[in-house]
Amino acid sequence: MEPSVAMREYLAEIYRLQEDNPTVSTTALAERLDVSAPAVPRMLRRLRNAGYISHEPYHGFFLTERGVEEALSELRRHRILEVFLVNVMGFTWEEAHEHADDLGKGLNDDVVARMALMTDNPTRCPHGEPIPDENGVIPKVEDVCIINLGVGTKGEVSRVRTHDPEKLKYFASLKLTPGMGFEIVGRAPFNGPMRLRIDRDEIVLGAELTKSLWVATEAA
């Protein structure tokens, strides 16, 4: 069976969550999708019966090969639409995700292909996330969360991994957007605030925000 719009949304979110953990809990999925906890098991049963996910007892759910294929197709649709919204329609990057969620429900592959053509076949969305190609191959990204790096590290911003509009707006005000160079010039102990040099400016980034900032270092 072809997945419904809601099923595709779940599959894409499971894929995102599996980037950090091999299995996904119903609680994590409910929080990310902002749906009620009882709604999640019902959808997971549908996905499991359709062969898109499997369950590992006491651990959680994970995508099957078929589920990964559908998830990557949905991610391509969503991320190309985000690029189109920002580059062609002039929306800001903090507006793009929510609009793409709403508008993506009616998009078919032909429209997605035209949007990709109009935006020069992008390989990253406005937030730096990789875009799968039309064959479902996703570009490999070599980056790391900046919270794991020490003073003296230099590199450039790779991805900003949050959909929170206020956080994205704040990152943009600090010039912490994909492609921007940085140097860590100081940090407090125990994962405290981090001091960065961006261009000629120095900024302080709180511990909560550093968790969303992924970077490619010069050593990498």
The stretch 212-216 carries a mean pLDDT of 97
Nearest one of 145, 142, 129 to 194, comparing CA atoms: 145
Asked if residue 135 belongs to a domain, the reply is no
The CATH number assigned to the domain holding 12 equals: 1.10.10.10
Q: Where among 19, 45, 63 does a domain terminate?
A: 63
Asked if residue 104 is part of any domain, the answer here is: no
Look at residue 20 and tell me if it is in a domain.
yes
> What's the whole-number mean pLDDT along residues 19-41?
89
H helices within the chain, ranges in order?
A: 5-18, 26-33, 39-49, 65-87, 93-103, 109-118, 165-173, 207-210
Count of structural domains, the chain: 2
3-class DSSP state of 213: strand
Domain of 45, in residue numbers: 5-63
Tell me, what's the pLDDT at 219? 59
pLDDT for the residue 107: 87
What's the average model confidence in pLDDT over 100-129?
A: 93
For the segment 156-195, what is each residue's pLDDT rounded down to a tens digit? 999 999 999 999 999 999 999 999 999 999 999 888 899 9
CA distance 179 to 140: 16
Arithmetic mean of pLDDT, 187-204 = 92
Whether residue 68 is contained in a domain is answered as: no
